[in-house]
Structure 1
Amino acid sequence: MRILLVEDDPALSMGVTRGLSQEGWQVDGLSDGEQAMSAGLLGHYDLCILDLGLPRRDGMEVLRHWRSKGARMPVLLLTARDELRDRVQGLDAGADDYLVKPFDLPELLARIRALKRRSEGRIEECLVLGELRLDVAHRELLHHGERVALSPRELALTEMLMQKGGRVVSKESIVTKLSSWEADFSENSVEVYVHRLRKRFADLGVVIRTVRGFGYVMETADTAPTGDGQPEAS
């Protein structure tokens, strides 16, 4: 998942970014409302965390601008304004949820997961493919109950592939989801990570198949076709 974080407090922004990154999510950080006005309309983001007290453009103005232009990404407001009127105003402007500062990181993470499930129209906490089970809430991949050790980015890629349930995921969408402004992630990087996952999954009953010219599909080994379209070197 790729998240836009708009927060002008450097310490808070750094702490939230670190926590989100540890969950395997990619974070692009901005520090003022003027930058956010256009960034939120790019269509790159699955969710935005938006502070209300921003320089140059107030967060409420930014949110109204996004909604007026048709941006539909879920928005979680961060506010120090612990007044009912301000919270109602934010929700009426198009916010999906809010947190009052100061807040605990686990609550922020839980609210993000809930918004993500809601936006995808699903409520399940686990993804299952063959003998693999991905616990979305706790960010763990299990095989017969045993944890499969993956890096945050490997786990994020696995989640993307498992969510599609046997359908193709394009390289372009993987690059978009797993990139951030601080760390370049190219189509060559995708091939490297797919290669790593293939090695990790070799004895776990699933394969990642290359569909030439389109992208990748993750399937159980017993349903993967033979011949052309088998996993190619990455």
Structure 2
Amino acid sequence: MTLSATSTSLHFIWCVPRSRSTSFEKMMANSRQFNVVGEPFIDFYKQGLLSSDSFLKAQKNFNDTFESLSHSSLRQAVFVKDMGYHAAEFISDSQILSAKHAFLIRNPKLSIPSLYKMRNDFHENETGFEGQYKLFKRILALTKKKPFVVDAEILIKSPKNTVKSYFDSIAYRMPDDILDWQPGSREDWQGRESWHIDAINSSGFIDGKTEVNLEEMPSRVTKIILKNMPYYNLMRENVSSP
């Protein structure tokens, strides 16, 4: 069963790693209007890298999970946070049209050093920018409508206006207390809590230190940052005004 694009209660926000996306996920859970699901496709992406046979199995698992999310959204609105590159190779045109999509971006000069801090041997594909932009272009081409795009630094500096604009874009009322949540983890984060320490300890969006000394980064990291800047700049051109 496929939901129509006009009646869907299935909402995705497609991110890059270390883009404050888990805080956004936690905020959406605090709205109490959605069944919030975090990164349901990450294991299928990893499975699909193993071999062509594994990719076919991963595709089936992706489709089954997407179908389950669609069915769940018939009972209660579903909000899904995942990395764009996790889904870009799997998601079909009909699946794209059956849901509503938004994007969360962050400057590679900030997100990639943070990724390096968590995993210094990360693969450059795991930065997520190319896959995110590829998915953005597909959605734009299919829907003929620009998806809502949030820049993480604008979100942090102007959370109320940014979140209000996002809720307006999906035709939901923003709860008055949505920006104040309780510290704590989420079930979706089990096994990867170390990646979400700041979000676990958070009770709202915090405008923390953002300056990164790139001269202290290995040359491999700075090269990957430069390689991804064009994708970020293209996405930044489409940021929705708060």
Asked if Structure 1 and Structure 2 have the same fold, meaning a TM-score greater than 0.5 normalized by the shorter chain, the answer is: no
| Higher relative contact order structure (alpha carbons within 8 Å, sequence separation ≥ 6) | 2
TM range (shorter): 0.3 to 0.5
Larger Rg: 1
Specify which structure has the higher proportion of helix: 2
Specify which structure has the higher proportion of strand: 1
